Chain A
């Protein structure tokens, strides 16, 4: 069992991520439509995986990563950053801030699934 927090201001994108990960057994999903909502949820309950969009209103993905890595409790939380072609600079910053890996749109369902498998199973091992 693992709780996944999917953060994106685009509902279609959140739905796509969930659809891609659905075949992985035992995942439950929570949606957050903004970086602020993500931080609130992360502060209130534990999650096992964070899938995060970089480009959002208010505060972006990088700030969420910075927040997460600033919390002792969340230091080990795997974070998948979803980016788009052209995000190179922010990608580097997110990596520096402590993101675990990247998925660049377009990605296939299998690609993100295998990343998730790696992150969740690596953590358990």
Chain B
């Protein structure tokens, strides 16, 4: 018996989990840095970061990525010291740890791109090692007065000093310290009431300080009790319900005011604030590869196609006089179910805007260092959600706007002071809800505002009279308000890129308001969902077009010498394919762009498409390639043309039509100039 397992197969799963752990690590490190600046320890963040790094190390060892193992190992050593020092990390440690996370991240990306992970950069380990040599940082470890909690020894002895202190000092502002006893049981587990689900529900009611298993006879005949020690504002009844009702029990932890501590007490907010988000959001979520959702959508599309066949068959039966009333009712029900299922699958693709923006604090932190400006980033996006495909495209635009705000809009601390503003500038990204399938976002700063006159002078145009006109000038390709490129924003503001993403790619809107000296607000409106299409892009009579890959049966080279031109066929040739004849139509001509005679065209390739079950070939000049496109449906009924499903931006800023060739061919076949196509098709089959 030999193990035929290759752990390298786990690489994709490893990469996904590593990315997630790195995201968590970044958040914890930022929380730690915020604490350090306020002179407070942050033991939980230290522990959480340690755990993330430790897990990354172990996983990396399993899939044999030695450089990451090494980096993680040294980070861990440094964090262990901080943990022993009660969650105090010397400020000098933040940067090397940040660098460590970045280096790990870089290697994860390399692996994801199919490359080898680069070796550890020469300086990093020595910097991390140097931190280690400095030894445990100063600062007193938590050493509070003995806390007086109403707990039996079996529980009390298992609390750390910090946890005890949290329970005794955290009961303020209407919060109280309570003990919730949950007794697990097979019947409860069968109903989904397990320690994991209880923990999750309790997490939404308050702060869980500690969970302990206690063995021994328990209420209701159990042999195990989980003791949850909480700080909460919730009522006993709510807590009891969260634990599935009796035999669970709630008891207050009567806190006897501790004697004045001998040492200076640690501020009570040390652990309570800047809690990691995970604690609140809890489990219950699942990471799924987007391609799997797409696969589900494709399967669903097949069902929809099948349904319309079924519906046609029923219509035929009805026409033949068969009793189909019940069948039709079932069909209707089926249509509704398919719609619901589509909605359900699309909802799986939604991501929280808050999650999308979680890298912005890191960006601003970097900008703070590189620009020397004092900046506060405020994120207020609530629980808004977006399709992942939209979110992935939106993020670079937001990064651009935030970067511009810090780099160009915010003044130096001195200039702000001189202008009577607070030294610290504010950049605020907010979402004010959604309506009609659109999400509104604002990116606002309290900087110097856009100087319309300076913009006009630089662009060589008259001073724009309205904010919209000013924005239009700012969004001209290559427009710059700076003479020299700088490290963060490069040359120019790149507003053309923002406009390209928001307006051209996503089909959204971009607006701006600015007040000299007071600040600028960019308003973004984007659709919550977009349709992605795997498309073949080709050229025809000098223009580019796209079609869905799935609609094309085959792509063939056209050998002009082997085409048959039946007389009177109006320029439709016959293409030989596996002994069959397929009518070949020059697409340029169908689109009204080619010569009247198909012979004149330089058709080099043909796309074979099934039209009502029959193959038809559409001649094009050149195949450009295959790519994923964002399909923007043409919503204006006036411009709705049969055969044109929408438009897309291929990245060149020009709209490209997305065609439905089968519909286009049929529409033109029915149209006056090509009335003779149907008989020709028959001729083709006879040949």
Contact = CB atoms under 8 A, between A and B. Distances in A.
Contact of B3 (A36, A82, A110): A110
Interface string A1-39: 000000001111101100110111100000001101101
Contacts of B58: 10, 13, 55, 82, 84, 105
A12 B61 contact: no
A43 B64 CA distance: 36
Contact of A10 (B59, B73, B199, B226): B59
B157 interface: no
B252 interface: no
A91 to B, nearest CB: 13
Contacts of B196: 33-34, 36-37
Given A44-B186, A84-B54, A33 B283 contact: yes
A85 B61 contact: yes
A120 to B, nearest CB: 13
B215 A71 contact: yes
Contacts of B62: 13, 16, 105-107
A113 B212 CA distance: 32
A55 B55 contact: yes
Contact of B5 (A10, A19, A86): A19
Interface string A85-112: 1100000000000000000011111100
A70 B69 contact: no
Given A43-B223, A106-B64, A24 B189 contact: no
Given A12-B10, A85-B73, A110-B2, A37 B194 contact: yes
A76 interface: no
Interface string B173-196: 000000000001110010000111
Contacts of A24: 1
Max chain B Cβ within 10 angstroms of own Cβ: one of A24, A37, A43, A45: A43
Nearest to B9: A19
B14 interface: yes
Contacts of B17: 10-12
A115 to B, nearest CB: 12
B607 to A, nearest CB: 42
A10 B10 CA distance: 13
Contacts, number: 118
A40 B5 contact: no
Contacts of B5: 19-20, 22-23, 109
Interface in A51-102: 55-59, 63, 67, 70-71, 82, 84-86
Given A37-B195, A110-B2, A15 B51 contact: no
B76 A86 contact: yes
A40 B55 contact: no
Max chain B Cβ within 10 angstroms of own Cβ: one of A34, A56, A84: A84
A59 B76 CA distance: 19
B54 A55 contact: yes
Contacts of B51: 55-57
B61 A10 contact: no
Given A23-B5, A36-B195, A110-B2, A13 B224 contact: no
Interface in B1-23: 1-5, 7, 9-10, 13-14, 17
B69 A36 contact: no
A59 B213 contact: yes
B93 interface: no
B57 interface: yes
A64 B569 CA distance: 82
Nearest to B11: A12
A16 B10 contact: yes
A101 B200 CA distance: 33
Max chain A Cβ within 10 angstroms of own Cβ: one of B10, B58, B59, B199: B58
Nearest to B225: A43
Contacts of B211: 36, 58-59
Contacts of B64: 106
Given A59-B211, A84-B58, 15 more contacts: A12-B14, A12-B17, A36-B213, A37-B194, A43-B215, A44-B189, A45-B186, A58-B199, A67-B213, A67-B215, A85-B61, A86-B76, A105-B59, A110-B3, A113-B3
- Ranked nearest first, the 10 interchain pairs of A and B with the lowest CB-CB distance are A109-B3, A84-B58, A106-B61, A43-B224, A105-B61, A109-B5, A105-B58, A40-B184, A36-B195, A39-B213
5 contacts: A12-B13, A37-B195, A39-B213, A70-B215, A84-B58
